[in-house]
Amino acid sequence: MALIVHKYGGTSMGSTDRIKNVAARVAKWHDAGYKIVVVPSAMSGETNRLIGLAKQIMDQPDPRELDMIASTGEQVSVGLLAMALLAIGKDAVSYTGWQAGIRTDSSFTKARIQSIDDSRVLADLDAGKIVIITGFQGVDEQGNISTLGRGGSDTSAVAIAAALKADECLIFTDVDGVYTTDPRVVDEARRLEKITFEEMLELASLGSKVLQTRSVEFAGNYRMPTRVLSSLTDPQLPLAEEANSGTLISFEEETNMEQAVISGIAFTRDEAKITVIGVPDKPGVAFHILGPVSDANIEVDMIIQNQSVDGKTDFTFTVSRGDYQRALAVLEGQRTELGYDRVVGDAKVSKVSAVGVGMRSHVGVASQMFRTLADESINIMMISTSEIKISVLIDEKYMELAVRALHKAFDLEKA
């Protein structure tokens, strides 16, 4: 009997009627003979509401207590979904992350899963029950509730699927798959039938909001087949049709690399650029600048160090816009030790990226990208590359123009 993990996002769980629709869909799969584990998010808007309450009490909420509060949204969801299944005659049981054996580290609000004890869940599945587990959360070694960060329910679902050796993890969301870019920006954006784990990881890390980055990492590391599909279709849609809908995140050897050089254009609006000017150019300069930033739990993305002039250099990097002020404060606190002249920044920049495994076997992608942007008079501030992606940092006001131009230049509207 095949084991399938379903994950439902906040929109899918957004009302009691939608929860009943989720229950009907889950029951359909269970009736077809599948063992089913369900990982739902909190109801749409609930996590924001809970965090808002915390901030009314404390401007900078204590991370441990914030996790205690934020975790309750998913607990409501699993209880309501279990009731909805029980109401239609299905034997269902709900668990919190810690009850399901999900152990994490103690990085509150950004915890990472360390292990999953699947014995309790497997016993329930063998007894014919539908098991519902809170996404987004676990428990650390001291018994503290921890959360995985925003979007962490995707990570929970894929990690649980990997631990249970599920046949597939289905991510039900309010979109019907992964697109060549955001359809709200480009009308001609096209849904992809398949995409590789590498491409999906790049797209997720570069701004695509369909899947959370760590969930794709889990899926790739454990070779867990993962499908993104819509939860807004008729719950009674024939199972054979539903099981082959959406976008399958697959292995590279299962795709035709000659179909397209570029699979998608990703973007992120919330970038900020920081430049440390006139820092002494000596061994370890990058570490001494970025070490304290990392210690403050601030992720750094693009990095450029300029050529040394008279023994000094300029060092530029980007962070999430939400971390911009904190990063500036960290650098100000290190001014004496670093000995730089000044720090300047720009919080109105965006990153646009072209992604595709076809880059490995095709030349000229970078030149075509840069020519396209030049034709639109868009200046490039920073560039970063990998085997399968090219990212550029540009002025925020040109972001949508850049995405549309690149989508057309690489013929992504064509199947």
Question: Taking residues 94-113, what's their average pLDDT?
Answer: 95
CA distances from 365 to 156, 235, 407 (A): 36, 42, 13
Q: What is the pLDDT of residue 213?
A: 79
Helical segments of 140-284, H only: 152-163, 197-205, 213-221, 239-242
Residue 160 phi, psi (nearest 5): -65, -40
Q: Judge residue 380's burial from the number of C-beta atoms within 10 Å of its C-beta, 0-12 exposed, 13-18 middle, 19 or more buried.
A: middle
Q: Per-residue pLDDT tens for 276-305?
A: 999 999 898 899 999 999 999 899 999 999
Q: E-assigned strands of 231-332?
A: 247-250, 264-280, 300-305, 312-320
Reduce the DSSP state of residue 197 to 3 states and report it. Answer: helix
CA angle, residues 177, 183, 186, in degrees to nearest 5: 140
Q: Which architecture does CATH list for 264-409?
A: 2-Layer Sandwich (3.30)
- Lookup: tokens for 270: 């919330």
Q: Which uninterrupted H or E stretch holds 105?
A: none
Mean pLDDT (whole number) for 393-407: 97
For 326-381, how does the pLDDT look when each residue is reduced to its tens digit (9 = 90+)? Answer: 999 999 999 998 999 999 999 999 999 999 988 887 888 999 999 999 999 999 99
Return the CA Rg of the chain. Answer: 23
Q: Quick one: tokens of 302?
A: 């693009």
pLDDT digits (tens, 9 = 90+) for 119-174: 999 999 999 999 999 999 999 999 999 999 877 899 999 999 999 999 999 999 88
Domain ranges for the chain = 3-253, 264-409
Distance CA 323, CA 287 (A): 19
Sequence-distant (6+) residues with CB within 8 A of 137 are: 67, 71, 74, 96, 97, 98, 102, 145, 146, 147, 148, 152, 156
pLDDT band for position 415 (50/70/90)? Answer: low
> Out of 3.40.1160.10, 1.20.1340.10, 1.20.1630.10, 3.20.20.140, which CATH number does the structure's domain 3-253 have?
3.40.1160.10
The pLDDT of residue 257: 46
